[in-house]
Amino acid sequence: MIKYEQTQLSNGLTVIANRDTASRMAAVNILYKVGARDENPNRTGLAHLFEHLMFRGTHLIPDFDIPVQMACGENNAFTNNDYTDFYITLPCDNLETALWLESDRMTGLNLSAEACEIEKRVVIEEFRQRYLNQPYGDLNMLLREMVYTTHPYRWATIGLSPDHIAEASIEEIHNFYHRFYHPSNAILSISGDIAAERVFDMAEKWFGGIKPNLDFCPSALPTEPKQTTARRLEVERDVPATTIVIAFHMGNRLSKDFYLGDITSDLLAGGDSARLYEHLIKGKSLFASVNAYISGDVDEGMFVFTGQLLPTTTEQDAEAALWEEIRQLQSGEISDYELEKVKNKFEANTLFGELNVMNKAMNLGYYSMIGDLPLINREIAIYRSLTKEQIADFSRHTFTQENSSTLIYRAKR
Amino acid sequence: MTQPPLTVPATIDVQQATKHIAQNGTPIYVINCPEYEVVRLSFVFHAGSVTQRAPFVASATANMLAEGTEKYSAQQIAERLDYYGSYFDINIDRDYSYITFCSLSKFFPQTAEVINQVILHPTFPSQEVEIYRTKRKQQLAIERRKVETIARENFAKAMFGEQHPYGISYTEERYDTLTSEQIKEHYARRYTAQNCIVVCSGNITDEVLDTIKGIATKIAHGSECGVEDFPAFDTTSERAIQHDGAVQSSIRMGRLLFPRTHPDFIPMQVLSTVLGGYFGSRLMQNLRERNGFTYGVFSAMVNFQQAGYLAIATQVGKEVTERALEEITAEIELLRTQLIPHEELELVKNIMAGEMMRILDGPFGIADVTTENILCGFDNSHIQQNLERIRQTSPEELLTLAQRYLRTEDIVTVVAGDFN
């Protein structure tokens, strides 16, 4: 249970406070509602590039990191398809330093041609290090491009190609900043040993003077058309083991299917006693590793099965084994014990996740972003309420041939 | 608006661990934080790869403790832990193996039953060993496609010697020779009371402590402790490993120094932080910010039980490999020839203080630091001493240390990449 209070400043900034009396540290999280989904298909990777640019200093504070570090703080950020998140942890006594920095870079960013050029090169190296110079590095890119034909989830956060990043103009970068980085598109959440009233006063002091962007309207995204036939892609790469991926479309973050998808993925792959590990690695010895997960996106996302084959396993046997697991779920072969287990596990993981200030601040921002902050304390009850009939029903309408995309990522002999 | 005033914490108060001794002599250290309704329990054995007698045996022993015991099969263990939302974590390095269990307080008794089996009664069934072998062999083959893995393994060889227990690595094929007997032999020889410490944190009530003592006291007596055959180090200064098709080269540079117990370890930690220990460090400024050669570059002091070293690690574009090596060398040279400005050193000291506070935030972090202190022969008052030692470090001292320890001819350089 995370207790919180929230308010909204007159410029539209959402502010959420959680009091943690056990810690000497505070966490300041600021979430901007912009991600790879908001990008132009011809200029992908911009949201993530922009996350990097947010650390390049402002006219007032030329180096962002030094004041954070002088305050014994640490900061970082991440971008995904739906949002961009920045966080600072530091001794609670220095909380205002974080607010000073965050409010300053919401408006005063130094987007010089030189800064942009250097950051573009860093991001292109990141592209190469994590996606091109890594075994299986392009697997998720290939999968997205097959599963989505229309929705911007078609590309990964890093973008479709390093060229998109290289070619981004200063003007495009400036427009992106003005369009998405302003109070009414941001959520500030803070956890630490400090009263909510104080947090709200400080937020007003540091952010209250920032002008809202009155013209702002969120991106209108194209709807992904319903998939009607099975898709398949086979590629060959210089990797040691063949990997098979089967992905299905599923419901959005606020739908019932989200929870059913999540709990189904736990039944299949939540820990070493889960089905896929027990059946396919230990029992049938078909895979070296196997997994099932949901992409967890805000809009309609993916349910993904993935398995790395042992050298002795044929692709046909591996694929058939995954579909057999699906069949068992569809016919409702789920025990009460098994279901109770994944529910207990969800509850324990939720509690373990509430032990530090950073997780709490980050979660508060996230639930506010998806539009249902009280949900943060309701999810355990939602998981508790799910039944095996619902899981079987979810499996029947989700795991169909016509809703499937299969990727064979074959090891070169 | 103007910058708000700053406070730099002058002290870090960490509770001392309470020490108990089980009847068989196993020490149990308790960090009691009753405000958290969780229990975390770690067993640390001096059973790392330096103590193994055949390839991969030490890691296999640690990783297979829960793959079948006298009372439970691997599946039943996984099943029981999962059912109560408990989990365990296994870590192994060259010196030690660390087995850590976490559970909600309300499910600790049920979890303890499993812990008892995993720590005291593992059976290492041949069939499970076979699955493990195949899986790990494939994973290692994949790891070794990465230039960073190749560089890391070769850096250890270059620093300690190809055959030295701290430097050696084995081909994936050697997994084929791993047997259940070898693992049982290793377990019997190293998972003993003389080689073990226990550290627990969270809400440690008297009942919880009694349960822990009950398990610890049954750890077998052994005859062997310490490490036999620890040869001298045999350092070579350069290794270059060709890896066809790599678009980036992985670089490791550094040198052999001394373990944490050495009086210069902390100031050398300060120096390595200046060089590459934080986001705005000199190497990051140079290689990433000014030149765009890399996504990241880091340096740190690494501690082993009988050695310690400075390591610099990065991955750079293939075509700028030579220039990156030159820039790293130039940054080291700068440490040897010029005093670090006071402002920069203040910044680094605050970063290090902040890092200590962050690690020590929460019961699990305190337990980790306590464990590290105990293994080096310290208690938790060492944390405050470290903080003070960091504070005392001066630019003059660091210049002297750089001149003594970072001479160009002493630096080991390893590069893995495509040189064609």
- DSSP track, A12-32: S-EEEEEE-TT-SEEEEEEEE
Give which of B278, B290, B295, B355 to mutate to test A binding, by max A Cβ within 10 Å: B295
How far apart are the CA of A322 and the nearest CA of chain B, in angstroms?
19
Compute the distance between CA of residue B390 and CA of residue B265 in angstroms, rounded to an integer.
Answer: 11
Tell me, what DSSP letter sits at residue A60? S
Of A249-258, B206-215, B375-384, minimum mean pLDDT range? B375-384
Residue ranges of E strands in B275-384: 294-303, 308-317
pLDDT at residue B227, rounded to an integer: 80
pLDDT at residue A181, rounded to an integer: 97
Class of residue A37 by CB neighbours under 10 A (exposed 0-12, middle 13-18, buried 19+): buried
Torsion of CA B71, B76, B77, B83, to 10 degrees: -130
Q: With bands split at pLDDT 50, 70 and 90, how would you rate the model's confidence at B399?
A: very high
Residue A307 CB-half CA count within 13 A: 30
Question: What number of other Cβ atoms are within 10 A of residue A150's Cβ?
Answer: 12
Compute the distance between CA of residue A103 and CA of residue A182 in angstroms, rounded to an integer.
Answer: 10
Is the sign of the CA dihedral B220, B223, B226, B227 positive or negative?
negative
Q: Where are the alpha helices (DSSP H) in A153-300?
A: 162-166, 170-180, 196-207, 256-269, 275-276
Compute the distance between CA of residue A263 and CA of residue A379 in angstroms, rounded to an integer.
Answer: 12
Q: Does A344 touch chain B (CB under 8 A)?
A: yes
**Contact present, B209 and B20 (Cβ < 8 Å):** yes
Helix, strand, or coil (residue A251): coil
Tell me whether residues B362 and A67 touch, CB distance under 8 A: no
Q: With bands split at pLDDT 50, 70 and 90, how would you rate the model's confidence at B224?
A: confident
Question: What number of other Cβ atoms are within 10 A of residue A232's Cβ?
Answer: 12
**Rg over CA atoms, chain B:** 23
Prediction pTM value? 0.84
Cα-flanking dihedrals φ and ψ of residue B258, to 5°? Answer: -155, 160
Indicate the residue of B82, B315, B350 with minimum beta-carbon distance to A341: B82
**Contact present, B304 and B166 (Cβ < 8 Å):** yes
How far apart are the CA of B364 and the nearest CA of chain A, in angstroms?
9
How far apart are the CA of B220 and the nearest CA of chain A, in angstroms?
28
Q: Give the end-to-end CA distance of chain A in Å, rounded to a whole number.
A: 53
**Structure-token match 């044929």, residue found:** A314
Indicate the residue of A66, A118, A130 with minimum beta-carbon distance to B347: A66
Residue A94 CB-half CA count within 13 A: 24
**Contact present, B212 and B47 (Cβ < 8 Å):** no
Q: Which residues of A touch B317 (CB under 8 A)?
A: 125, 128
B299-311 core/surface letters (b: 16 or more CB in 10 A; e: else):
bbbebbbebbbbb
Entry field: residues in chain B: 420
pLDDT at residue A140, rounded to an integer: 94
Compute the distance between CA of residue B112 and CA of residue B69 in angstroms, rounded to an integer.
Answer: 14
pLDDT at residue A307, rounded to an integer: 97
Compute the distance between CA of residue B222 and CA of residue A76 in angstroms, rounded to an integer.
Answer: 47
**Contact present, B53 and B227 (Cβ < 8 Å):** no
Residue B183 CB-half CA count within 13 A: 24
Cα-flanking dihedrals φ and ψ of residue A338, to 5°? Answer: -60, -40
Compute the distance between CA of residue B192 and CA of residue B232 in angstroms, rounded to an integer.
Answer: 27
Compute the distance between CA of residue B97 and CA of residue B50 in angstroms, rounded to an integer.
Answer: 11
| Tens of each residue's pLDDT in chain A, 413 residues | 899 999 999 999 999 999 988 788 999 999 999 999 999 999 999 999 999 999 999 999 999 989 999 999 999 999 999 999 999 999 999 999 999 999 999 999 999 999 899 899 989 988 988 888 888 999 999 999 999 999 999 999 999 999 999 999 999 999 999 999 999 999 999 999 999 999 999 999 999 999 999 888 888 999 999 999 999 999 999 998 999 999 999 999 999 999 999 999 999 998 878 999 999 998 999 999 999 999 999 999 999 999 999 999 999 999 999 999 999 999 999 999 999 999 999 988 888 888 789 999 999 999 999 999 999 999 999 999 999 999 999 999 999 999 999 999 999 97
**Contact present, A325 and A276 (Cβ < 8 Å):** yes
Residue at B348: amino acid letter: V
On whether ipTM exceeds 0.85, the answer is: no
**Contact present, B92 and B48 (Cβ < 8 Å):** yes
Tell me whether residues B290 and A66 touch, CB distance under 8 A: no
Indicate the residue of B3, B7, B142 with minimum beta-carbon distance to A135: B142
pLDDT at residue A105, rounded to an integer: 96
Residue at A292: amino acid letter: A
Q: What is the pLDDT of residues B281-340, one digit of tens each?
A: 999 999 998 998 998 999 999 999 999 999 999 999 999 999 999 999 999 999 999 999
Q: Give the end-to-end CA distance of chain B in Å, rounded to a whole number.
A: 54
pLDDT at residue B223, rounded to an integer: 79
How far apart are the CA of A221 and the nearest CA of chain B, in angstroms?
32
> Comparing C-alpha atoms, which of B268, B312, B326 is closest to residue B152?
B312
Neighbouring-strand partners of residue B405: none
**Taking CA B49 as the corner, what is the angle to CA B46 and CA B55, rounded to the nearest 5 degrees?**
145
**Contact present, B367 and B43 (Cβ < 8 Å):** no
pLDDT at residue B9, rounded to an integer: 81
Tell me whether residues A351 and B74 touch, CB distance under 8 A: no
Compute the distance between CA of residue B264 and CA of residue B356 in angstroms, rounded to an integer.
Answer: 19
**Contact present, B26 and B216 (Cβ < 8 Å):** yes
**Rg over CA atoms, chain A:** 23
Compute the distance between CA of residue A7 and CA of residue B123 in angstroms, rounded to an integer.
Answer: 58
How far apart are the CA of B259 and the nearest CA of chain A, in angstroms?
26
pLDDT at residue B229 above 80?
no
Indicate the residue of A72, A273, A352 with minimum beta-carbon distance to B82: A273
Tell me whether residues B75 and A91 touch, CB distance under 8 A: no
Q: Tell me how far the alpha carbon of residue B37 is from its chain's centroid.
A: 27
Q: What is the pLDDT of residues A166-195, one digit of tens each?
A: 999 999 999 999 999 999 999 999 999 999
Within 128-147 of B, beta carbons closer than 8 Å to A belong to 131, 134-135, 138-139, 141-142, 145-147
Within 323-352 of B, beta carbons closer than 8 Å to A belong to 346-347, 350-351
Compute the distance between CA of residue A19 and CA of residue B212 in angstroms, rounded to an integer.
Answer: 33
Q: Does A118 touch chain B (CB under 8 A)?
A: yes
Q: With bands split at pLDDT 50, 70 and 90, how would you rate the model's confidence at B226?
A: confident
Give one DSSP letter per residue of B69-97, joined into a string: BSS--HHHHHHHHHHTT-EEEEEE-SS-E
Q: What is the pLDDT of residues B29-56, one digit of tens each?
A: 999 988 888 999 999 999 999 999 999 9
Q: Which residues of B touch A348 (CB under 8 A)?
A: 84-86, 103-104, 107
**Contact present, B91 and B375 (Cβ < 8 Å):** no
**Contact present, A201 and A9 (Cβ < 8 Å):** no
Compute the distance between CA of residue B28 and CA of residue B17 in angstroms, rounded to an integer.
Answer: 9
Cα-flanking dihedrals φ and ψ of residue A64, to 5°? Answer: -70, -40
pLDDT at residue B14, rounded to an integer: 85
Give mean pLDDT, residues B224-248.
89
pLDDT at residue B81, rounded to an integer: 93
Task: Give, for B416, the enclosing helix (H) or strand (E).
Answer: strand B412-417
Task: Give, for B278, the enclosing helix (H) or strand (E).
Answer: none
Record the tokens describing residue A233, joined without a space: 């892609």
Class of residue B39 by CB neighbours under 10 A (exposed 0-12, middle 13-18, buried 19+): buried
Q: Which residues of A touch B9 (CB under 8 A)?
A: 24, 72, 91, 93
Residue at B400: amino acid letter: T
Within 354-373 of B, beta carbons closer than 8 Å to A belong to 354-355, 357-358, 361-364
Record the tokens describing residue A335, joined without a space: 């025990």
pLDDT at residue B15, rounded to an integer: 86
